[in-house]
Amino acid sequence: MLPGDPGPDEAAVERLVATTLDEDLGAAPGRDVTSQATIAPTTTGTADLVARADGVVAGLVVVPVVLRQVAQRLGLSPATVVVRVPDGTRVTRGDVLAELAGPVQLLLVAERTLLNLASRASGVATHTRRWADALAGTDALVLDTRKTTPGLRALEKYAVRCGGGTNKRMGLYDVAMVKDNHVAAAGSVTAAIEAVRSRFPDVAIQVEADTRDQALEAVAAGADFLLLDNMPTPVLADVVAAVRAVAPTTQLEATGNLTLGRAAEVASTGVDYLSVGGLTHSSPILDLALDLRPV
Protein backbone atom coordinates (compact mmCIF):
# COMPACT_ATOMS: atom_id res chain seq x y z
CA MET A 1 0.00 0.00 0.00
CA LEU A 2 1.10 3.59 -0.61
CA PRO A 3 2.87 4.71 2.58
CA GLY A 4 0.66 6.94 4.70
CA ASP A 5 -2.39 6.34 2.50
CA PRO A 6 -5.42 4.44 3.81
CA GLY A 7 -5.78 2.79 0.44
CA PRO A 8 -8.97 2.38 -1.59
CA ASP A 9 -12.20 1.81 0.29
CA GLU A 10 -12.12 -1.84 1.40
CA ALA A 11 -15.82 -2.48 0.80
CA ALA A 12 -15.54 -1.00 -2.70
CA VAL A 13 -12.56 -3.27 -3.47
CA GLU A 14 -14.43 -6.35 -2.23
CA ARG A 15 -17.40 -5.50 -4.48
CA LEU A 16 -15.14 -4.77 -7.44
CA VAL A 17 -13.29 -8.06 -7.13
CA ALA A 18 -16.53 -10.02 -6.75
CA THR A 19 -17.95 -8.39 -9.87
CA THR A 20 -14.84 -8.98 -11.96
CA LEU A 21 -14.69 -12.60 -10.87
CA ASP A 22 -18.34 -13.04 -11.85
CA GLU A 23 -17.42 -11.73 -15.31
CA ASP A 24 -14.57 -14.22 -15.68
CA LEU A 25 -15.87 -17.29 -13.87
CA GLY A 26 -19.61 -16.91 -14.25
CA ALA A 27 -22.03 -16.52 -11.37
CA ALA A 28 -20.56 -17.52 -8.00
CA PRO A 29 -18.96 -19.86 -7.30
CA GLY A 30 -18.14 -20.07 -11.02
CA ARG A 31 -15.54 -22.19 -12.76
CA ASP A 32 -12.40 -22.15 -14.89
CA VAL A 33 -12.93 -25.16 -17.10
CA THR A 34 -9.32 -25.24 -18.34
CA SER A 35 -7.44 -24.85 -15.07
CA GLN A 36 -9.79 -27.06 -13.08
CA ALA A 37 -9.55 -29.82 -15.70
CA THR A 38 -5.77 -29.79 -16.12
CA ILE A 39 -4.38 -28.98 -12.66
CA ALA A 40 -5.02 -30.91 -9.46
CA PRO A 41 -6.21 -28.68 -6.60
CA THR A 42 -3.38 -30.03 -4.42
CA THR A 43 -0.58 -29.01 -6.81
CA THR A 44 1.27 -26.01 -5.41
CA GLY A 45 3.66 -23.51 -6.94
CA THR A 46 5.00 -19.97 -6.97
CA ALA A 47 4.42 -17.18 -9.49
CA ASP A 48 6.03 -13.77 -9.92
CA LEU A 49 4.03 -10.65 -10.70
CA VAL A 50 6.35 -8.84 -13.12
CA ALA A 51 6.43 -5.44 -14.81
CA ARG A 52 6.67 -5.72 -18.58
CA ALA A 53 7.20 -1.97 -19.01
CA ASP A 54 8.57 1.00 -17.08
CA GLY A 55 6.06 2.91 -14.98
CA VAL A 56 4.58 3.46 -11.54
CA VAL A 57 2.97 0.53 -9.80
CA ALA A 58 -0.43 0.73 -8.12
CA GLY A 59 -3.23 -1.65 -7.24
CA LEU A 60 -1.18 -4.39 -5.61
CA VAL A 61 -3.58 -4.03 -2.68
CA VAL A 62 -6.18 -5.93 -4.73
CA VAL A 63 -4.00 -9.02 -5.31
CA PRO A 64 -4.61 -10.74 -1.94
CA VAL A 65 -8.31 -9.90 -2.17
CA VAL A 66 -8.59 -11.61 -5.55
CA LEU A 67 -6.73 -14.69 -4.30
CA ARG A 68 -8.83 -14.93 -1.16
CA GLN A 69 -12.13 -14.63 -3.00
CA VAL A 70 -11.13 -17.23 -5.60
CA ALA A 71 -10.01 -19.65 -2.88
CA GLN A 72 -13.31 -19.21 -1.08
CA ARG A 73 -15.36 -19.69 -4.23
CA LEU A 74 -13.60 -22.85 -5.35
CA GLY A 75 -12.78 -24.37 -1.96
CA LEU A 76 -9.02 -24.16 -2.48
CA SER A 77 -6.28 -23.69 0.09
CA PRO A 78 -5.27 -20.05 0.53
CA ALA A 79 -2.30 -18.46 -1.20
CA THR A 80 0.31 -16.12 0.23
CA VAL A 81 1.46 -12.82 -1.26
CA VAL A 82 4.81 -11.17 -0.60
CA VAL A 83 4.84 -7.65 -2.05
CA ARG A 84 8.34 -6.71 -3.19
CA VAL A 85 7.54 -3.23 -4.48
CA PRO A 86 4.98 -1.04 -2.68
CA ASP A 87 2.33 0.88 -4.56
CA GLY A 88 3.56 4.27 -5.73
CA THR A 89 7.05 3.02 -6.67
CA ARG A 90 8.67 3.65 -10.04
CA VAL A 91 9.48 0.31 -11.65
CA THR A 92 11.36 -0.81 -14.72
CA ARG A 93 10.70 -3.63 -17.15
CA GLY A 94 11.53 -6.96 -15.54
CA ASP A 95 11.06 -5.88 -11.90
CA VAL A 96 9.32 -8.44 -9.71
CA LEU A 97 6.50 -6.65 -7.93
CA ALA A 98 5.17 -9.52 -5.82
CA GLU A 99 5.55 -13.25 -5.24
CA LEU A 100 2.45 -15.42 -5.04
CA ALA A 101 2.55 -18.95 -3.61
CA GLY A 102 -0.19 -21.53 -3.22
CA PRO A 103 -2.31 -23.92 -5.27
CA VAL A 104 -1.40 -23.50 -8.94
CA GLN A 105 -5.05 -23.85 -9.86
CA LEU A 106 -5.82 -20.85 -7.64
CA LEU A 107 -3.00 -18.76 -9.11
CA LEU A 108 -4.14 -19.37 -12.68
CA VAL A 109 -7.83 -18.85 -11.99
CA ALA A 110 -7.04 -15.52 -10.33
CA GLU A 111 -4.45 -14.45 -12.90
CA ARG A 112 -6.50 -12.39 -15.35
CA THR A 113 -8.60 -10.63 -12.74
CA LEU A 114 -5.65 -9.50 -10.64
CA LEU A 115 -3.69 -8.48 -13.75
CA ASN A 116 -6.60 -6.49 -15.18
CA LEU A 117 -7.05 -4.52 -11.96
CA ALA A 118 -3.38 -3.96 -11.13
CA SER A 119 -2.49 -3.11 -14.74
CA ARG A 120 -5.31 -0.58 -14.93
CA ALA A 121 -4.37 1.05 -11.62
CA SER A 122 -0.68 1.12 -12.54
CA GLY A 123 -1.49 2.76 -15.86
CA VAL A 124 -3.37 5.54 -14.08
CA ALA A 125 -0.51 5.98 -11.60
CA THR A 126 2.04 6.10 -14.41
CA HIS A 127 0.09 8.75 -16.32
CA THR A 128 -0.45 10.80 -13.15
CA ARG A 129 3.27 10.70 -12.35
CA ARG A 130 4.01 12.38 -15.69
CA TRP A 131 1.79 15.29 -14.67
CA ALA A 132 3.23 15.42 -11.15
CA ASP A 133 6.73 15.53 -12.63
CA ALA A 134 5.70 18.31 -15.02
CA LEU A 135 4.48 20.35 -12.03
CA ALA A 136 7.57 19.70 -9.90
CA GLY A 137 8.97 22.97 -8.58
CA THR A 138 5.61 24.74 -8.74
CA ASP A 139 3.00 25.12 -6.01
CA ALA A 140 0.28 23.37 -8.04
CA LEU A 141 -0.92 19.79 -7.82
CA VAL A 142 -2.58 17.62 -10.43
CA LEU A 143 -6.15 16.72 -9.58
CA ASP A 144 -8.45 14.01 -10.86
CA THR A 145 -12.15 14.22 -11.78
CA ARG A 146 -15.26 12.02 -11.73
CA LYS A 147 -14.46 10.81 -15.26
CA THR A 148 -13.62 7.35 -13.97
CA THR A 149 -14.35 3.86 -15.28
CA PRO A 150 -17.71 2.73 -13.86
CA GLY A 151 -17.10 0.49 -10.86
CA LEU A 152 -13.41 1.40 -10.62
CA ARG A 153 -13.60 4.83 -9.00
CA ALA A 154 -12.14 3.91 -5.60
CA LEU A 155 -9.26 2.02 -7.22
CA GLU A 156 -8.55 4.63 -9.90
CA LYS A 157 -8.58 7.53 -7.46
CA TYR A 158 -6.22 5.57 -5.20
CA ALA A 159 -4.00 5.07 -8.25
CA VAL A 160 -3.98 8.83 -8.86
CA ARG A 161 -2.64 9.28 -5.34
CA CYS A 162 -0.03 6.59 -5.97
CA GLY A 163 1.15 8.62 -8.97
CA GLY A 164 1.56 11.84 -6.99
CA GLY A 165 -1.83 13.37 -7.74
CA THR A 166 -4.68 14.24 -5.45
CA ASN A 167 -8.45 13.72 -5.16
CA LYS A 168 -10.90 16.57 -4.65
CA ARG A 169 -14.19 14.74 -4.39
CA MET A 170 -15.25 11.14 -4.66
CA GLY A 171 -18.72 11.73 -6.05
CA LEU A 172 -21.83 13.88 -6.13
CA TYR A 173 -22.38 13.40 -2.42
CA ASP A 174 -19.33 14.90 -0.70
CA VAL A 175 -18.72 18.22 -2.52
CA ALA A 176 -21.18 20.45 -4.36
CA MET A 177 -20.12 21.32 -7.90
CA VAL A 178 -22.13 24.21 -9.37
CA LYS A 179 -21.76 24.08 -13.16
CA ASP A 180 -23.30 26.07 -15.98
CA ASN A 181 -26.45 23.95 -16.13
CA HIS A 182 -27.03 24.45 -12.40
CA VAL A 183 -26.59 28.19 -12.82
CA ALA A 184 -29.07 28.19 -15.72
CA ALA A 185 -31.59 26.24 -13.64
CA ALA A 186 -31.15 28.35 -10.50
CA GLY A 187 -31.05 31.70 -12.29
CA SER A 188 -27.60 32.89 -11.25
CA VAL A 189 -24.35 31.80 -9.63
CA THR A 190 -25.39 33.45 -6.36
CA ALA A 191 -28.80 31.79 -6.34
CA ALA A 192 -27.23 28.37 -6.95
CA ILE A 193 -24.74 28.80 -4.10
CA GLU A 194 -27.45 30.00 -1.72
CA ALA A 195 -29.63 27.02 -2.62
CA VAL A 196 -26.84 24.57 -1.85
CA ARG A 197 -25.96 26.32 1.43
CA SER A 198 -29.61 26.18 2.49
CA ARG A 199 -30.17 22.50 1.63
CA PHE A 200 -26.72 21.04 2.40
CA PRO A 201 -24.90 23.40 4.79
CA ASP A 202 -22.25 20.81 5.65
CA VAL A 203 -20.66 20.47 2.20
CA ALA A 204 -17.98 22.54 0.49
CA ILE A 205 -19.12 24.36 -2.64
CA GLN A 206 -17.16 24.47 -5.87
CA VAL A 207 -18.25 26.70 -8.76
CA GLU A 208 -17.30 26.42 -12.41
CA ALA A 209 -16.45 29.86 -13.77
CA ASP A 210 -15.88 30.72 -17.42
CA THR A 211 -15.28 34.45 -16.93
CA ARG A 212 -13.74 36.90 -14.47
CA ASP A 213 -17.18 38.23 -13.51
CA GLN A 214 -18.50 34.73 -12.73
CA ALA A 215 -15.45 34.00 -10.59
CA LEU A 216 -15.84 37.19 -8.58
CA GLU A 217 -19.57 36.64 -8.15
CA ALA A 218 -18.90 33.12 -6.89
CA VAL A 219 -16.39 34.14 -4.24
CA ALA A 220 -18.61 37.04 -3.16
CA ALA A 221 -21.41 34.52 -2.64
CA GLY A 222 -19.16 32.28 -0.53
CA ALA A 223 -17.81 29.62 -2.87
CA ASP A 224 -15.01 27.58 -1.28
CA PHE A 225 -13.36 26.49 -4.51
CA LEU A 226 -13.40 27.73 -8.10
CA LEU A 227 -13.04 25.68 -11.26
CA LEU A 228 -11.62 28.05 -13.88
CA ASP A 229 -12.63 26.50 -17.16
CA ASN A 230 -10.92 26.75 -20.55
CA MET A 231 -9.16 30.05 -19.97
CA PRO A 232 -6.12 31.08 -22.01
CA THR A 233 -3.11 31.57 -19.78
CA PRO A 234 -3.20 35.42 -19.72
CA VAL A 235 -6.92 35.41 -18.88
CA LEU A 236 -6.39 32.75 -16.22
CA ALA A 237 -3.59 34.79 -14.64
CA ASP A 238 -5.85 37.86 -14.54
CA VAL A 239 -8.72 35.95 -12.94
CA VAL A 240 -6.43 34.37 -10.35
CA ALA A 241 -5.03 37.77 -9.39
CA ALA A 242 -8.52 39.28 -9.14
CA VAL A 243 -9.81 36.46 -6.94
CA ARG A 244 -6.73 36.42 -4.72
CA ALA A 245 -7.18 40.17 -4.10
CA VAL A 246 -10.63 39.67 -2.54
CA ALA A 247 -10.58 36.03 -1.38
CA PRO A 248 -6.98 34.90 -0.82
CA THR A 249 -7.90 31.55 0.77
CA THR A 250 -10.29 30.39 -1.96
CA GLN A 251 -8.83 27.38 -3.74
CA LEU A 252 -8.44 27.69 -7.50
CA GLU A 253 -8.39 24.95 -10.11
CA ALA A 254 -7.60 25.25 -13.80
CA THR A 255 -9.27 22.84 -16.18
CA GLY A 256 -9.90 22.41 -19.88
CA ASN A 257 -7.41 22.29 -22.76
CA LEU A 258 -4.57 21.27 -20.46
CA THR A 259 -1.52 19.43 -21.79
CA LEU A 260 1.72 18.29 -20.24
CA GLY A 261 3.50 20.93 -22.30
CA ARG A 262 1.35 23.68 -20.75
CA ALA A 263 1.40 22.34 -17.20
CA ALA A 264 4.15 24.54 -15.76
CA GLU A 265 2.85 27.59 -17.62
CA VAL A 266 -0.63 27.14 -16.17
CA ALA A 267 0.78 26.51 -12.70
CA SER A 268 2.70 29.80 -12.93
CA THR A 269 -0.61 31.70 -12.85
CA GLY A 270 -0.96 30.81 -9.18
CA VAL A 271 -3.69 28.18 -9.33
CA ASP A 272 -3.66 25.48 -6.67
CA TYR A 273 -4.64 22.61 -8.95
CA LEU A 274 -4.73 21.46 -12.55
CA SER A 275 -7.75 19.24 -13.09
CA VAL A 276 -7.08 16.49 -15.65
CA GLY A 277 -9.88 14.10 -16.56
CA GLY A 278 -7.49 12.13 -18.75
CA LEU A 279 -5.77 10.71 -15.68
CA THR A 280 -8.61 8.23 -15.41
CA HIS A 281 -10.48 8.30 -18.70
CA SER A 282 -7.50 8.05 -21.08
CA SER A 283 -4.64 6.27 -19.32
CA PRO A 284 -3.32 3.15 -21.05
CA ILE A 285 -2.59 0.18 -18.82
CA LEU A 286 0.87 -0.64 -17.55
CA ASP A 287 1.72 -4.07 -18.92
CA LEU A 288 2.09 -6.59 -16.07
CA ALA A 289 2.39 -10.36 -16.22
CA LEU A 290 2.12 -13.35 -13.88
CA ASP A 291 4.94 -15.83 -14.54
CA LEU A 292 4.61 -19.27 -12.99
CA ARG A 293 8.00 -20.59 -11.91
CA PRO A 294 9.00 -23.97 -13.40
CA VAL A 295 8.55 -26.89 -11.02
Q: Which helix (H) or strand (E) holds 206?
A: strand 204-209
Helices 10-25, 104-134: crossing angle, 10 deg rounding: 130
Active-site residue list:
112, 147, 179, 208, 229
What would the pLDDT profile of 94-106 be if each residue is shown by its tens digit?
A: 999 999 999 999 9
CA angle 25, 30, 36 (to 5 degrees): 85
What would the pLDDT profile of 149-208 be if each residue is shown by its tens digit?
A: 999 999 999 999 999 999 989 999 999 999 999 999 999 999 999 999 999 999 999 999
**The pLDDT value given to residue 168:** 86
> Count of residues for the chain?
295
**The pLDDT value given to residue 141:** 98
Domains recognised in the chain with CATH numbers: 10-124+284-292 (3.90.1170.20), 133-282 (3.20.20.70)
pTM for this model (two decimals): 0.95
**The pLDDT value given to residue 26:** 96
Q: Residue 241 above 90 pLDDT?
A: yes
Q: State the CB neighbour count (10 A cutoff) for residue 38.
A: 12
